[in-house]
Structure 1
Amino acid sequence: ASIPDFSIDEAGFTVELTDKHVTFHAASTEGLEIVTGFQVNNLGLDIDHTPAATPGGQATTTGELLGTILIAGIDLNLRALLEQGAGSGSDITFETSAATGSAIPIGNLISDLAAFGSITVPASIDGALLSNIISTYQVGKELTFGFDVSLETDGKSVIISVLLRMSKNGTSWTKVFEGLVTAGDLEFDVSFSQSASEKSFYASLRPGGVGEMDLRNLLLNFVDDPNNVIPSLTVSLNEAFVAYNKETTQAKGTLLFGVSVGAGMTFSDLPLVGPMLNGQTIGVDSVMISYATSSLTMPQVRKMNLSIPANKPKLPEVDLNSGVGMSLLMAFGKLKQYMALPVAEQAPPSSPGTPAPAPTQPERDGKWFPVGKKMGPLSIDRIGINLKDAKLIFGLDATVAVGPLTLLLEEMTLGSPLDHFAPEFGLRGFGLGYSAGPVSISGFFLRNPTTEEYAGAALIQTSKLTLKAVGAYAMTANGPSFYLYAYLGYPIGGPAFFFVEGLAAGFGFNRSVRTPEIGDVKTFPLVAIAVGDEDFLTVAERMATGGYVPIDPGKIFLAVGVRFTTFKQLDSFLLIIATFGDSFRLDLLGLSKLVVPAPVPGATPKTPLAEIELAIKGTFAPAEGFVGVQAQLTKNSYILSRDCTLTGGFAFFTWFAGSPHEGDFVISLGGYHPQFSRPSHYPVVPRLGLNWTLTKEITIKGQLYFALTPVCVMAGGRLEATFKSGGLKAWFIIGADFIIGWKPYMYDARIYLNMGVSYTFWFFGKQTVSFDIGADLHIWGPEFSGTAYIDLGIVDFTVEFGAGASQTVNPINYSEFKETFLPGSNLATVSIVSGLLKEDNLDAAGNVMEIGNNTTPAEKVWVVSPKEFELNTDSAIPAKTVQGITLPATISQNFGIGTMDVGNSGLETFHTITITKDGEDVSGNFLYDQITKSYPAALWGSKLKPDKNDTRTINGLLSGVKIKARPPLDPDQMGFLDQGVFTFQMLQIQRDAVGAGLSFAKTSGPVTVPASNADRDKILASLGFDAAQDFETGGSTDDDLALAGLHDPVVGSYS
């Protein structure tokens, strides 16, 4: 290499004589001038020569040229390697190692480089502190300085590696600032804004960067915890950038990181829609996912775009919120429009529960933008964008109209994974409309992507007929699940009191019907479809999305309904739903409407005198031990005027075996006593009431109620009238609340009355003058007695009236209790639960009666299997003691007879079990367990006068015994035998064996069986038979002896 000329102040060399190794060192205090006023100081030269180790080998010579540059107060050590064999035309380039230490202002560097001419520092790094400074010098050609600059943002600080490149051009120097931002394995080339006032830069991804990467890993360079701001997304990086902007009013700048992912997608590729676009484009030109450390306004974004090279992707010119977002450039024909979509970590799904009915327009995933553009027969209503499961999905709501046919496409989707382009098409549903002449058809079909359920509805109308149908289908792990429900509106006819106007029917497989509360019967879709007060398609969409007929493996339901009128005054619809599967259930839903007078078809509508609409609900669920019937007026009910509204309801609930509330019941008309604490399993029943706003000054309100429970009977009411005009107010209130006990008969009532007047006026502030009188009465009996407290405003007093009877209750005796509350016969019953093989009828003589004998049997006999046999006893009287057997558990003693004033300790009841065989007790051959249930506290409580809030039932009382045969021993178990069965003793035979002393002759050939044979007669006699009397003989082989095997043998020859 050509070493520049410089004077030497000192020099030296060494020579190793053994191996001829030579080193040379020279140093100079004279500088090597780069430009006037700026030079390389402290020059030094080191050369090392090593001869070849073997003859013909290669000798090596190395060298380096050393120096220092003083810049910004820091000495940078320069070093240039001298290559062996380089010619005189080779360049010598000095390089430095990074100078660590305290950061220095960039202004100090620029001032020390003043000898090179004016240097304009990019505004985004002007005033920044520099660190890790390095330098290179190519002698006579180029001088560079590299350093790191840290820029503060609302996220992590961003580090830019800046390079100031100064190249000699004749007698002048060209100065250029370059930059590099590193994010993980990605490198971004920085383009600084050339404006002195714009503190911004744009850095684009270098070609050949990573093809796929998780955005969370990328954001680690800019965010402390990216898990909180973005879901895990692996994307294919086509383009990526880092942009920075700082306003003069900002303490910290805004950093924007963006990734351009995937390829453009167009709806032109979709079936059905594509051919209708007539060559126009609807789709996505580009997709960008970005992260901003703070928000950017549209003007700020436009300003940043000015610094982006022409061949690089521009920032979306929309308002960008802080955090992660998605920006799309949509194409609608020739129109281009940016759309922004927030991206957030999706929350986990909640546990299922009872679903509420969905709104008519359900919330949809993603973000939807109105379009309102028509292209030929296609009308585009809106475009939707959604990011889900690392897939970008675009939705389209559109309408296709061709002649009398209209087709509504709902959420037709086009999507693709972000890590590779693989378009996927989908359709949430479609609507259909057709109208030609007297025939109109409308309907829809929807797909639920979560359950893969397909639901639909159809409406067919002519001038006389209406057919409405809804249904759904889904394939589940338990097989297909579907339902179909239809209503035919057509006047079929019938008598005036039951004139059929329409029929409904439904069937469901692996489905059940989720029946509504009584207050929601009117809007329940299966009822609303038949009643027709709502638009059918609105009801059907609610049906399809509201979970009213959910998937229920193993369940089957049948539904039958009828709509009818009664004397053209009463319009009713009743629907019966039977559900089968692991249990049986029967539900009744209905709606009945009375309008007086009934509207006349074709006449001008008039406000009716009264309109009363009653919702009905009934349930019979044997497996749950429940029967319930409810009826309730809807909010549409009124009389005389629509300002005179009617309210009220009725309920009858009872619980039997299978329910935890077994034995309890309630009948209510209008609710309960105000102080009655309603148990959670009792129905809510609104007051029978009237609320009439007669004029704007006069209001009348009235309420009534009645309720019957196992504890007591409640009844009461209230009437209130109010007049209010300006500051004047007058009122009248009367009410009563009764409680009536069972045996012993008693009643207790509180009656109140209040009336008054008040006047409010302004006199040194708001003043009110009022006067009222009232009375509170307490009545009890029998005999009729009571007290009254009377308040006349200025004086009050108490009056006693009636018989003055004590408020204590007299108990009844057992005879009265038995006659009133216990069944006349069959206090105890026995029932076969399992193992019954047959049932025989016995006559008076104990013989089994033949089939077809209609005579009343004297007795019935069960023939049972000993293996599966199970018998239950039941008693109308709860028992405290079981006699005749031993039960494994303790029996509850917590009951008495309150009406007799007999407490828990004063009552003894018995349940006796006796099992005999041929007069012998065999109860030890069976297993026993107690059967408990709930009994009414009004009968078996311990209080003579129960409180209205006392417990209505006493749970866990013994009502009977379960009797089962002991199970047989398993084959691998050994039973126990009495030792005596194995004992024995030797006996001496006292006589010869039967036949001893008899002579037998050996004959050959057949023999004749004689009618009489002395030897044979002896044998028979020894066996206890009389041959002459007990047998018929005569030589025939079919006589009694032959059949018994005792005829003479056929003797032949023996070998």
Structure 2
Amino acid sequence: MTADDADRSSDEGDASPENFPTSLVPALTEAALHLSIPSGKSDGSSGQGLGLALRLSGTLAERTWTVRLASARAPGENRVSALLAHTAVNAGMSDLPVVGSQIPAALARLSALSLAARSGVTLTTRQVKALQALMAVTGGGAVPLEAEALAARMSVGALLELAGKPLAVWGALAGRGALDPSGQEPAGPVVPVEGGGSVQLWKNVDRALGPLHVRRVGVVSDVEELRLLLDASLNLQGVAFEAIGVGLALSLDGKYRVRALLDGLALAYAAGAVEVAGAFARDSVPPKGMRLAVSGLVAVTTPQISFVAAGLYAELSDGSASVFLIGQVSGLRVPLGPVTLTGLIGGFGYNSALRLPATPAEVPSFPLVGGLQDSKKLPVKDPAQALAALRDIIPPTVGSLWLAAGAELSVFETLKARLTVAVQVAPDDVTVALLGVATAKFPQKGTPYACLTLGFQATYRTSTGEIALRGALDEAQSYLVHPDCRLRGAFAVCVWTAPSTRSGDFVVSLGGYHPAYRRPSHYPEVERIGFTWAPGAAVSVHGECYAALTPSMAMVGGRLRVDYWDGSVRAWLDAHLDASVQWEPFRFDVDLGIRVGAEFTFCGTHRVELGATLTLWGPPTGGLARVHLPLVPDIVVRFGAGRDQSPVTYLDWAAFHARVLGNRALQAEVTHGLLAQRPPAAKSLAPQEEQSASAVPQVGPDGFSFALTSPLPCPAVYVATGASSSELLAGAEDGTVHVRPMDISGGTAPLTFSIIRASDSAYITVSAANVTELRQGVPASAFGPPLSRADEAPDPRGNRELLPGTLTGIRVTIPGPTRVEALAAVSKKELDHKTGASAGHPLSAKAKPSGPVPVAGTRSAVATTLKGTSAKRQAVLNELRSRGLAPGTAAAEDPTDYRTRIFTAVTADPLTATSETNRS
């Protein structure tokens, strides 16, 4: 056996009797028995039965224990039995490290743990008193049997001492019983056992112990340790401390080690008009995905300025840290011309995400806009709930970083606004948001006749390409003329750009859409702009309106409703307007009407209503009028051209190009590889033509790319390879395009471009280039298939607004030069050769220099020479490969194809070499 084995055997004990640890053997040190013999008849008719009480005391692991057993029969009751066991703990706050010596020993201590069990389903007060009397006679200073310990069939309890006064806390373990419902006093509250394999006992105390105020105490126990916890506050000379979950933990591993606990701490201080308050809390059970969560809140208030800050530090399950901090300063008065700065707010977060408001109506209560003090989402009176609410708004997210800054402004004391700019960076997204709320009252003095509170948000996300501006009125704080005339409504402006498949789509809406419009799923829902007013007890007025603009149509409308009722009389007025306009070809449709009616009860219920509706369409203008009269059929009047008779005027190319395309043309843009231009010389004697040529942009060959975009859909894109030949780069050869305003269906509009070398007008191919299709959404009103005659009128339900993913151009990227591996080391033997005019090729003594000498001066001559010496050059490469000296692939080594790229690699013709005699 090794020394380690011996030590381990000594610590853990041996199975042999002589090595068994005696500390684990319970020792019986005292026993007591008490019998209570009833008086009177032996049959027990007096109601008093035989009473038995037994007490056993001893020690175990250096701690005393006691077991009590009692069996009694109260007069007129059934016999009941009870078992009470307890063990001494004797641990208190004075055992805390560092600060324990400063805490009075009798302030808060855990004296003992108890277990109680009893028979019977229900107990009466007489039965409880009989059991308590029997257990008391055994003496020995045991824990008294509390009435609340018998409220359940089995209970666990803790005996505490607060300032020297005993306090018992009991909780039900199993078989919750009930007392006899005969008006007897209940045995006491039953504290439920919480899950998770632990027993948690809490009791509200609400007791003042000098400067210490204890709200509740609790004992939490599991298989590993026992914890004594207090929620208390301490007030010392104006400084109030509040502890949440402060206490100590006693290990149950046999060594009974003590450690300090603190779930939260709050501080409050007041000195005149200056107030300081702060709190931090640690989650005893961190949220999912966290190993540790500590949050804090601090507030400083002075007569002029107040400061509030809140933050969170969390350790996530993967070991990374998550942090966020928000701070707010209010009460400032900094004049900036007509604007006065009254407050600041800001924050940042690392490995945390900022959940922006889903709707503009939520913006005023968003903490980074409404503030930490005024936000409806943060209950400042309860710091723990406020911090929990912040964690929901700013959850930990690995890889996410955000920064926000905002200000509170006042403009001429008439308009007050809060604006916040937030930027959030995630691994696959960047979000920029402007959030704000504005409030205006007119006039400022006296009774205001108008008040508006508008919440708005503007966002841009790179992942979706959506740019959105949305706003909504706060109905609770917006009115006109009278506080009872409440205003409501919202607006939205949304544009979709790349990389979204809806790129090119947009919508502008004030108050929503046409009632029959089928809103696409990605268009926002927008509340009607309207008002509700009850100027009198018998009158109510409701009004609303809307206007919207989409790629295919525009729509506008509204409704007004007035109701009057007075006993048996009711009257109403209802007016409406709904109009829609189709862009190309231009058509409009208008529907408006009004109805006035009354209903009264006199010898029955009588109703009368008058109304008229008008429907217009065009061009040319036509319509239908309908008059509604009581007792007679409706009168219908038709005028102008009919819907199916209205001719459609289509556009020619010139009109379509000007009106629909805005005279836009094909665009060519260098997206990468554009070289910096040379600054012009101070004085130049070059002809005007040469100066203009030098101003032409130049590009480099390293990853040069360009983009071609067309205002028209491109069913196919070709590159010219010759005067009468081309190569398909994108799209399909049989692709077609529709132009609705020109009544073109299945037309062909291929895009063909060419790259021509300026020196010799030769076509340059891009077969080795990378070609990327550029696709975006185009409006169906312009490029959708022509409508049939029955569909020429604008459809308020909305046609297909967008044709997503339409090919509108390409991006061509010329690959940069391919890097090859460096030439390997060459032996000296391979390099040794003769020198002079008769010397041979270093790789072969018989090889002689041969081949035409390139004519200097033009790049074309260099390219021609390269083409003519291709075979000889290939022989050299083959020789290098046979000797293991040629790195890379043959394609990378062979410079023959370089002649086709010489015009992109060399921006000018090479200089002409001359001899010394000719250079004079």
TM-score for both structures, normalised by structure 2:
0.68
SS at match of 2:370: helix
Secondary structure of the corresponding residue to residue 838 of structure 1: coil
Aligned partners of 1:506 and 1:560 also within 8 Å? yes
Find 1:608's aligned residue among 441, 448, 455: 448
Q: How does 1:183-582 map to 2 (within 5 A)?
A: 263=89, 266-267=92-93, 269=95, 280-287=106-113, 317-318=147-148, 327-333=157-163, 334-340=165-171, 341-343=191-193, 345-346=195-196, 369-383=203-217, 393-416=227-250, 421-449=256-284, 450=286, 451=290, 452-475=292-315, 477-479=319-321, 481-496=323-338, 498-517=339-358, 518-529=360-371, 532=374, 537-538=380-381, 544-546=387-389, 547=391, 548-580=393-425, 582=427
The more displaced of 769-778 and 527-536 is 527-536
Q: In 2, Cα distance between the equivalents of 1:255 and 1:749?
A: 90
1:630 correspondence with 2:470: yes
Task: Choose from 752, 765, 768 the match for 1:912.
Answer: 752
Change (3 A) 1:699 1:687: same
Counterpart Cα distance in 1 of 2:441 and 2:89: 65
SS in 2 for 1:673: coil
CA distance in 1, matches of 2:134, 2:571: 80
Whether 2:611 is the aligned partner of 1:774: answer yes
Residue 801 of structure 2 is aligned to residue 952 of structure 1: yes
Query: Residue 323 and residue 307 in structure 1: after superposition, are their counterparts in 2 closer, same or farther (change >3 A)?
Result: closer
Give the secondary-structure state (helix, strand or coil) at the position aligned to 2:216.
Answer: strand
Letter matched to residue 648 of structure 2: N
For residues 619-658 of structure 1, what are the structure 2 equivalents within 5 Å? Answer: 619-634=459-474, 635-658=476-499
**Would you say the 8 A contact 1:294–1:322 is kept in 2?**
no
Any conservation in 2 of the 1:653–1:667 contact (CA below 8 Å)? yes
User: Is there any run of 5+ residues in structure 1 with no aligned partner, and where?
Assistant: 1-189, 212-235, 348-364, 600-605, 985-1024, 1033-1055
Per the alignment, residue 627 of structure 2 pairs with 790
Deviation for aligned residue 1:524: 1.1
Deviations along 1:719-751, one digit per CA (max 9) or x if unpaired, are 111122334322222122222221222222333
- State which of 423, 432, 437 in structure 2 corresponds to 1:586: 432
Counterpart Cα distance in 2 of 1:788 and 1:295: 84
Shift of 1:263: 3.9
| 2:309/2:325 contact within 8 Å kept | no
Distance 1:480 1:697, change over 3 A: closer
Post-superposition offset of 1:968: 7.8
Decide which of 780, 796, 799 is 2:636's aligned counterpart: 799
1:757 and 1:772 in contact (8 A); partners too: yes
CA RMSD between the two structures: 5.1
Q: Which residue of 2 aligns with 1:897?
A: 739
The answer to which structure has the higher helix fraction is 2
Contact 2:546–2:558 (Cα < 8 Å) also in 1: yes
1:527-576 deviations in whole A, cap 9, x for unaligned?
Answer: 22288587994597665322233334444433332222222111112122
Residue equivalent to 1:74: none
CA–CA separation in structure 2 for the residues paired with 1:255 and 1:854: 116
More moved, 533-542 vs 631-640: 533-542
Counterpart secondary structure, 1:661: coil
How far apart, in 2, do the equivalents of 1:968 and 1:256 lie? 93
Q: 2:713 aligns with which of 866, 875, 878?
A: 878
**1:908 is aligned with what amino acid?**
T
Q: How many residue pairs get matched?
A: 735
Q: 1:916 to 1:789 in 2, by over 3 A?
A: same
Q: Where does 1:715-864 land on structure 2 (aligned, <5 Å)? A: 715-759=556-600, 768-806=605-643, 810-813=648-651, 814-832=653-671, 836=673, 838-840=675-677, 858-864=695-701
Gap runs ≥5 in structure 2:
1-32, 39-43, 172-190, 720-726, 822-868, 877-912
Native 8 Å contact 1:470 1:540 kept in 2:
no
Judge conservation of contact 1:754–1:774 (CA < 8 Å) in 2. yes
Moved more, 528-537 or 552-561: 528-537
Pick the structure with greater CA Rg.
1
- 2:709 maps to a residue whose letter is D
- Check whether the contact 1:837–1:865 (CA below 8 A) recurs between aligned residues: no
Change (3 A) 1:423 1:802: farther
SS of equivalent to 1:923:
coil
Corresponding residue number in structure 2 for 1:924:
767
Give the drift of 1:394.
4.9
8 Å contact kept, 2:293–2:314:
yes
1:431 partner letter: A
| Alignment partners' CA distance in 2, 1:431 and 1:888 | 67
**CA apart distance, 1:302:** 6.9
2:345–2:371 CA contact under 8 A, matched in 1: no
Counterpart amino acid of 2:327? Y
Q: Deviations over 1:998-1018 (max 9, x none)?
A: xxxxxxxxxxxxxxxxxxxxx
Q: Distance in 2 between matches of 1:254 and 1:677?
A: 76
Q: Pick closer, same or farther for the CA change 1:325–1:586 going to 2, 3 Å.
A: farther
- Inter-partner Cα distance in structure 2 for 1:545 and 1:854: 70
Shift of 1:408: 2.4
CA distance in 2, matches of 1:506, 1:402: 34
Does the 8 A contact of 1:298 with 1:317 survive in 2?
A: no
Encode CA deviations 1:16-60: one digit per residue, 9 max, x unaligned.
Answer: xxxxxxxxxxxxxxxxxxxxxxxxxxxxxxxxxxxxxxxxxxxxx
C-alpha contact 1:899 1:943 (8 A) present in aligned 2: yes
- Cα distance in structure 1, aligned partners of 2:660 and 2:586: 13
The separation in 2 between residues aligned to 1:278 and 1:434, in whole angstroms, is 24
1:788 Cα offset (Å) = 3.0
Q: Distance in 1 between matches of 2:765 and 2:50?
A: 103
The secondary structure found in structure 1 opposite 2:371 is: helix
| CA distance in structure 2 between the aligned counterparts of 1:656 and 1:667, rounded to whole angstroms | 15
Change over 3 Å in CA distance of 1:920–1:980 after alignment to 2? farther
User: Residue 437 of structure 1 aligns to which amino acid in structure 2?
Assistant: G
Give 1:597's aligned residue.
443
Q: Which amino acid aligns with 2:458?
A: G
Quick one: structure 1 residues 821 and 727, their matched pair in 2 at CA, closer, same or farther if it must change by over 3 Å? same
Matched position secondary structure for 2:206: strand
SS at match of 2:634: strand
Shift of 1:831: 4.2
> 1:937 and 2:780 equivalent?
yes
Distance 1:572 1:960, change over 3 A: same
8 Å contact kept, 1:530–1:563: no
Contact 2:715-2:732 within 8 A present in 1 as well = no
| Correspondence 1:963 to 2:800 | no
For the Cα contact (< 8 Å) 1:916–1:923, is it kept in 2? no
> Do the aligned partners of 1:264 and 1:287 also contact (CA within 8 Å) in 2?
no
Identity across matched positions, percent: 24
Aligned match of 2:856: none
Contact 2:379 2:386 (C-alpha < 8 Å) held by counterparts: no
Q: Check 1:778–1:246 CA distance in 2 against 1; reply closer, same or farther (3 A cut).
A: farther
What secondary structure, in the 3-state scheme, does the structure 2 residue paired with 1:896 have? strand
TM-score with structure 1 setting the length: 0.60
Q: What amino acid is the match of 1:471?
A: G
SS of 2:658's partner is helix
* Structure 1 residue 656: Cα displacement: 0.4
